[in-house]
Amino acid sequence: MRLAPAGFGRVVGDAQTLPFGSGVVDALVMPFVLFHLPALAVALSEVRRVLVSGGAFGAVTWAGHDPHPAYDVWVRVIDEHGAPPDPSPQMPSNDITSDPAKLRHALQAAGFGEVEITVERFRHQPSASEFLAHSQVIGAMARRIEQLPPDRRTACLAVAEEELGRLDPDAFIESGTVLYATARAT
Ligand SMILES: C[S@@+](CC[C@H](N)C(=O)[O-])C[C@H]1O[C@@H](n2cnc3c(N)ncnc32)[C@H](O)[C@@H]1O
């Protein structure tokens, strides 16, 4: 992952009410963002609004995950330590953005043409310690363990570390499919 260079312009805003005028952006990308947005149709209309005519839009979304034994262990250990449910489930539009036909329809309905959607496989194999470190800071399970009292959280992480340490390296393979969508403002 790379950060934008220092001095590069940054704006913080909601993708569902983009803080830009109409027809002023040549190209806009939203990698792994669309499924987070409760108002997907509104966001896509906003993208269409700010793009110049013929402007390009690109998005990457999750399509499906293969079985992931290390993640299953992580979830079980967290359940066993009584962590409350995720306080803010974050993929309200995943039903649409994980389905090529539905995503295509949503883009077309928002005023996009030349819609191209490709399905690609991904594969990532962290070590046990990389998996544990990453899983504590991002995702639904990180939000769950954050709600545990400190002593229970420490106990939970110790059990997780011990159980994950016993797994075969293949158990950490995270794989599945993502959708790459590109389209042009008509
Ligand atoms: C999974 S991260 C992807 C980050 C980055 N694009 C990448 O690929 O590494 C999802 C991003 O969507 C952003 N996000 C979620 N809801 C948003 C909203 N309503 N408006 C703008 N950004 C939002 C989050 O702040 C987060 O940075």
Q: How many CA atoms lie within 13 A of 154 on its CB side?
A: 2
Predicted pLDDT of residue 129: 94
Distance from residue 184's CA to the centre of ligand 1 (Å): 22
Predicted pLDDT of residue 184: 98
Predicted pLDDT of residue 79: 98
Identify the burial level of 170 via C-beta atoms within 10 angstroms of its C-beta, where 0-12 means exposed, 13-18 middle and 19 or more buried.
exposed
How would residue 3 be classed by pLDDT, with cut points 50, 70 and 90? confident
Every domain of the chain and the residues it spans: 26-185
Sequence-separated (6 or more) residues with CB below 8 Å from residue 149: none
DSSP class of residue 80 equals: H
Predicted pLDDT of residue 1: 54
Predicted pLDDT of residue 90: 79
Span 60-106, pLDDT tens digits: 999 999 999 999 999 999 999 999 999 887 799 999 999 999 999 99
Q: Is the CB of 76 under 6 A from ligand 1?
A: no
Identify the burial level of 40 via C-beta atoms within 10 angstroms of its C-beta, where 0-12 means exposed, 13-18 middle and 19 or more buried.
buried
Q: Is the CB of 14 under 6 A from ligand 1?
A: yes
Sequence-separated (6 or more) residues with CB below 8 Å from residue 70: 128, 131, 164, 167, 171, 172
Whose CA is closest to atom 27 on ligand 1? 33
Distance from residue 108's CA to the centre of ligand 1 (Å): 23
Q: Which fold has domain 26-185?
A: Rossmann fold (3.40.50)
What is d(CA 89, CA 36) in angstroms, rounded to the nearest whole number? 9
Predicted pLDDT of residue 167: 97
Four-residue CA torsion sign, 26, 100, 35, 40: positive
Span 118-155, pLDDT tens digits: 999 999 999 999 999 999 999 899 999 999 999 999 99
Span 20-62, pLDDT tens digits: 999 999 999 999 999 999 999 999 999 999 999 999 999 999 9
Whose CA is closest to atom 1 on ligand 1? 32
Predicted pLDDT of residue 5: 87
